[in-house]
Amino acid sequence: MAGTTSLRREAITNHAIGPTLFKITIPMLFALVAIMGLGLVDSYFIGFLGTEQLAAIGFILPITFIVTSVALGLGMAISSLTSKLIGAERMNRAARLITDGFYVTAGCALLVTVLLTLQLENVFMLIGADQQTIPYIIEYMHAWLFGTIFLMFAQVCSSTFRALGDTKTSAVIAISMTVINLVLDPLLIFGIGPFPELGMQGAALATVIAVTISCFIGLYQLAIKEQLLLAAIPKWRAFKVNFNKLIEIAIPAVLANAIVPITAAVLTRIVASFGTDAVAGYGVGSRIEAVSLMIVYALSSTLPMFIGQNLGAKKFERVLAAISVSFRFVLLFQLVVYLLLAATAIPISALFSDDLEVQNAITWFLWIVPISYGLGGIVVLINVSMNVLGKPKIALYINILRLALFYFPLAYIGGQLYEIKGFFSGIAIGNICAFILAYIMLKRVLRETKTSLM
């Protein structure tokens, strides 16, 4: 076992739980800020090219999100399985699994690239792109597709380092993507200095170069420093076993990720019945929500690794303690966030719009919805923990039931009864109901896991 990996494992399986979780989560908070900035950078510079080019990016984002979701699902599968092997000090098995995971990722990247290339125009026409935006979409995607494998490898590298407990390198990969993209975008889009003016193609190439460099940073670290990428081609029987394990987690994880844009689309459709002012207010509220829950998302990227390594080390009491500490922290932190948002809701709403109706919608959003962020954040943590606990399908079922039984019906009924205030209340109550369901499922899975370790 490499010395640094051994030291990280020692901290994760033996040191004080709260401080250790804090130490490994902070780098991921910076990584999340960088990831959020990656899309904003492209949109900002492309906005100078014109409205049709910016509209093209609006159509491109859902498709690139699907590709990213596949990579995130594979990364989650590799991370969940690897963390347990590292906790059990089975580094040879971990190296074989990681290597096989990259083979699977390469196959998925190739499949995605071929399918999109063959049906590119049809795919975007299907989601509503018109003849004015299609040329810009094609121009961007023809360049972007060259980087599919590097994008997916970079995501998987980042997840793998989290499994090792090395969140700093994981954060470096994410941050380097955004910084390189930020530097290259204006140079390649507008042709500054010796660079050619490439417009939409330049934006795509900037992203491809950024993810490629970040990818090789990660691959170098894994192969040379950690020695966890094997040169030997796997035997089919062993590869098939790892393939089945990875896919068992990856498919539900990808589907769970896909639910996120579906939720946003349906809720936007419901709120649209209250008028464009309500849609604008809800849109602003949703962006504030993403920022408000960043610490939850950062913790959701490190808690599964902490659970996995301690499961591998057969330290179940530390698993329970980590879950308890995380839940209490999220409840307390999000309560503080709610109080701050509620107290400043009116001035915040004025920052985003001069329209009184839009301000009213933003204010009611901030007074009602964030009160449920603590319980909603715990649901996020439960879902990601289910993967490392070996129950990825339960995480998917929780997400589906959360939407089908709680979010959509309660938001719709609340809207019908009390308009926009009722709609926001329905979302908040949906978070509370989802927490009850997820917590019951977690208790059951933890009992089963404890029994299996005895």
Read off the pLDDT of each residue in 305-321 and give the average, rounded to a whole number: 94
Read off the pLDDT of each residue in 152-167 and give the average, rounded to a whole number: 93
pLDDT value, residue 2: 52
Q: Work out the pLDDT band at 142, boundaries 50, 70, 90.
A: very high
> Are 42 and 125 in the same domain?
yes
Q: Are 385 and 303 in contact (CB under 8 A)?
A: yes
State the Cα–Cα distance between residues 441 and 382, nearest whole angstrom: 9
Token readout for 417 is 């009864």
Place of tokens 């948002």: 341
Token readout for 192 is 């500054």
Domains held by the chain: number = 2
> Are 158 and 280 in the same domain?
no
pLDDT value, residue 140: 93
Cα angle value 372/373/375 (rounded, 5°): 70
Token readout for 189 is 């889009």
Read off the pLDDT of each residue in 66-78 and give the average, rounded to a whole number: 90
> Are 366 and 222 in the same domain?
no
> Are 188 and 329 in the same domain?
no
State the Cα–Cα distance between residues 319 and 79, nearest whole angstrom: 16
Q: Domain end: 234, 267, 297, which one?
A: 234
Q: Which of 220, 230, 212, 63 is nearest to 152 (CA)?
A: 212
Q: Domain end: 207, 234, 261, which one?
A: 234
Looking at the domain assignment, is residue 243 inside a domain? no
The DSSP secondary-structure symbol of 389 reads T
> Are 156 and 279 in the same domain?
no
pLDDT value, residue 1: 46
Cα angle value 39/43/46 (rounded, 5°): 140
> Are 200 and 274 in the same domain?
no
Looking at the domain assignment, is residue 246 inside a domain? no
pLDDT, tens only, 359-382: 899 999 999 999 999 999 999 999
Q: Are 32 and 290 in contact (CB under 8 A)?
A: no
> Are 195 and 68 in the same domain?
yes
Looking at the domain assignment, is residue 241 inside a domain? no
Q: Which of 344, 355, 364 is nearest to 282 (CA)?
A: 364
Number of C-beta neighbours around residue 233 at 10 A: 9
Q: Are 66 and 258 in contact (CB under 8 A)?
A: yes
> Are 184 and 325 in the same domain?
no
pLDDT, tens only, 230-259: 988 888 988 999 999 999 999 998 888 778
Could you tell me where the DSSP H helices lie in 165-293? 167-190, 199-220, 236-271, 276-292
pLDDT, tens only, 13-67: 899 999 999 999 999 998 888 887 776 777 788 888 887 888 888 788 778 888 8
Cα angle value 409/415/420 (rounded, 5°): 135
Looking at the domain assignment, is residue 244 inside a domain? no
Place of tokens 């590709």: 67
Q: In residues, how long is the chain?
A: 454
> Are 102 and 32 in the same domain?
yes
State the Cα–Cα distance between residues 3 and 14, nearest whole angstrom: 16
> Are 261 and 230 in the same domain?
no
Q: Which of 134, 147, 121 is nearest to 56 (CA)?
A: 134
Q: Largest Cα–Cα distance of the chain, in whole Å?
A: 66
> Are 227 and 264 in the same domain?
no
Looking at the domain assignment, is residue 364 inside a domain? yes
Read off the pLDDT of each residue in 280-286 and give the average, rounded to a whole number: 83
Q: Are 17 and 321 in contact (CB under 8 A)?
A: yes
Domain that includes residue 429, residue range: 253-453
> Are 213 and 319 in the same domain?
no
The DSSP secondary-structure symbol of 221 reads I
Helix (H, G, I), strand (E, B) or coil at 15: coil
Q: Mean pLDDT score of the chain, rounded to an integer?
A: 90
